[in-house]
Amino acid sequence: MTVSLVAEDWEELFPTRPFPLGKTTLEITALGLAELSNVIRHGMVLREVCVQEGINLQNWRSPEVMQKMAILLVEELPELLSTMSGLDAGDVPKLPLTVALSLAAVCLDVNIESAEGLVKNFKALSDKLHLMGNAIPMVMEAANNSQ
């Protein structure tokens, strides 16, 4: 028998952080696994573009590099912000830059908080799998000895 989660369960699993946007309030939640993998893939592509364009932490404040970054943000930010915030991708490019960046910061904050729990849980799972891996040979040996 399987159990399906109801809306209240999902709301409990993914608490929201409100982000007022005009008269609308977006409810920013941490990304689920499928959305997170999509954002990570997109981020890897963006990182590769930055490398190809010569953008790095040492030169990102130069006017030429800032112009390249602005173009990248205009091209790439709508899809990412839409995925992370739930705002329609067509609305993202229309936002004032300061609002778009603020929204991106809130989305990242929510997901960083979620990632901290994720790392803790992955470590606990890894420790348990390691213990289980050590226990399996002992169980197999005990089973063979009892025959």
Give the structural domain span for 22.
Answer: 15-145
In the chain, the percentage of residues whose pLDDT exceeds 90 is 20
Domains contained in the chain, number: 1
Is there a contact between 79 and 85 (Cβ–Cβ < 8 Å)? no
Which residue did the predictor score with more confidence, 50 or 86?
A: 86
Q: Is residue 32 part of a domain?
A: yes
Q: Angle formed by the axes of helices 63-85 and 33-53, to 10°?
A: 170
Q: pLDDT tens for residues 24-54? A: 999 999 888 788 888 888 888 888 888 888 8
Q: Is residue 6 part of a domain?
A: no
Is there a contact between 125 and 133 (Cβ–Cβ < 8 Å)? no
Identity of the residue numbered 25: T
Q: pLDDT tens for residues 95-130? A: 998 898 899 899 988 888 776 666 666 677 777 777
User: Which whole-number Å values give the CA distances from 123 to 108, 112, 119, in the listed order?
Assistant: 22, 16, 6
Q: Is residue 9 part of a domain?
A: no
Q: In which element (H, E) is residue 16 found? A: strand 16-21
Residues near 78 by beta carbon (within 8 Å), at least 6 away in sequence: 89, 90, 92, 93
Q: Is residue 135 part of a domain?
A: yes
Q: Is residue 2 part of a domain?
A: no
